[in-house]
Amino acid sequence: MSAHASSRPSYAAVLRLPHARRTFAAALTARLSYGTVSLAVLLSVTRATGSYAVSGAVLSLFGAATVFLMPFRAALIDSYGPRRALPPMAALYGTLLCLLAALTWRPGAPAPAIATAAALAGACAPPLGPTMRALWAELAPEPGMLARAYSLDGVAEELLYVSGPALIGVLIDFAPAAAGILLSALLVTGGTWAFVTSPAIPGPRPAPARQQQRLGAVRGLSAPLAVATGAGLALSAVDLLAMAFAAQHSYDPDLVPWVLGALSAGSAVGGLVNGAVRWRAPARARLCRFAVGLGLVIAVAGLAPGLWTLTAAMACAGAFIAPALTTAYLLADESAAEGARTQAGAWINTAVNAGSSGGAMVTGLLIGRLPLEVCFALAGGTALVGAVGTLGRRLRDAPAAP
């Protein structure tokens, strides 16, 4: 991969864009709610029902409604604009979260009522990540600056999902677990209001015909969707494989978070480096190479002789995560028709989360039935399959030789 460093400050230049700091800070405040809400729901439902099975089912319903309906909510953003579409979504989502908190504040609430409230809340969750990424394309139209903006956004989002559970852990030391759900509602409603009142948010625009809008959102997304799905499958597998590795080698299970922390730290560093470098290779070529790197490192990580070697391997694997996903979002933005950028980003987000759900389920079935080294190889292979799909698209798009 040929690259050279940019001659100007990268992330400082992004944050100096007009209204970028205010808009980005508001978006991150609202998006922090997605880092806090999952653990808050899990803990509050468990304490309210006394059943891990019920809490797992409720969290699954909430997550499925949030993820799989995201492209349709994103279509509303593209059709009506963030200022008109986001406030009703955030208000309804926050209200339903408050209802869920009220139901789980004390033990004894009926499980069907809790599940219904959680599913309805997930169905209304505003697509703040895709909306912010679509806005970056307007704030930073220059390709190099946009790549830096996307890298900054990706690293910040990674940190939100690390700091959110820590924030809930501090909160439940002196408040009921359901208070974490209320905190999530406050973050999303307050952050969304600050976001839509930013001068950077465009006003309502004439929306394209719905059929054209849907086609514009999915046209040309096969390569980034393949890589995003493969990355989601591989990363969710790694979470379970790290625990199985520690058990097989008789390590303390409390050390596993260090392995997963190294994965997140590597992703943050990789994302920052990716954004600070001005790449010469086109985005589609970089996407393929990042996916190959991720897949190969995970595939050989199962051969690690000990947990600390595995930790180092996970840090190396993490260095490819943020660059791969950032490049997938960039390609989605490039491929999307005008007026369909939010939907395009939402489809990538959905692919990552769908892959993550499927990977956890399949890996749970394979552990114990196959050697752990084979499980790691299969997990890495899912990322490689996505890279092969990207390569196939590149070959189809290449001009025929005379």
Tell me what pLDDT residue 367 has.
86
Q: Are 101 and 44 in contact (CB under 8 A)?
A: yes
Confidence label for 116 from pLDDT (cuts 50, 70 and 90): very high
Mean pLDDT of 94-117: 92
pLDDT at 50: 85
H or E segment to which residue 278 belongs: strand 277-279
**Average pLDDT taken over every residue of the chain:** 84
CATH topology of domain 10-207: Growth Hormone; Chain: A; (1.20.1250)
φ, ψ dihedrals at 16, nearest 5°: -90, -5
Considering the domain delimited by 214-397, tell me its CATH architecture: Up-down Bundle (1.20)
* CB neighbour class for 343 (10 Å; exposed up to 12, middle 13-18, buried from 19): buried
Q: Residue 286: which of 380, 379, 382, 390 has the closest Cα?
A: 390
From residue 244, give the alpha-carbon distance in Å to each of 89, 219, 256, 367, 368.
40, 40, 10, 8, 9
Q: Does the reported pTM lie above 0.85?
A: no
314, 262 Cβ separation under 8 angstroms = yes
Answer yes or no: are the C-beta atoms of 128 and 189 closer than 8 Å. Answer: no
Among 36-40, 122-126, 132-136, 209-213, the minimum mean pLDDT is found in 209-213
Quote the tokens at residue 230. Answer: 């493969």
pLDDT in tens, 263-313: 888 998 998 888 888 788 888 888 899 999 999 999 999 899 999 999 999
The pLDDT of residue 390:
64
Q: Where are the domains of the chain?
A: 10-207, 214-397
Look-up of token digits 């955030």? 90
- Do strands 3-5 and 277-279 pair parallel, antiparallel, or not at all (unpaired)? antiparallel
pLDDT for 39? 87
Instruction: Report which of 372, 165, 380, 377 is spatially closest to residue 257, judged by C-alpha positions.
Output: 165
Rg for the chain, CA atoms, rounded: 21
Burial class (CB in 10 A: 0-12, 13-18, 19+), 162: middle
Structure tokens at 317: 């694997």
170-216 pLDDT tens trace: 898 888 989 999 999 999 999 999 999 999 887 665 544 444 444 44
pLDDT attached to residue 162: 82
pLDDT digits (tens, 9 = 90+) for 13-24: 888 888 999 999
CA 85 to chain centre: 21
CA distance 108 to 23: 42
Instruction: Please report which helix (H) or strand (E) contains residue 277, including its range.
Output: strand 277-279
Domains 10-207 and 214-397 share a fold: yes
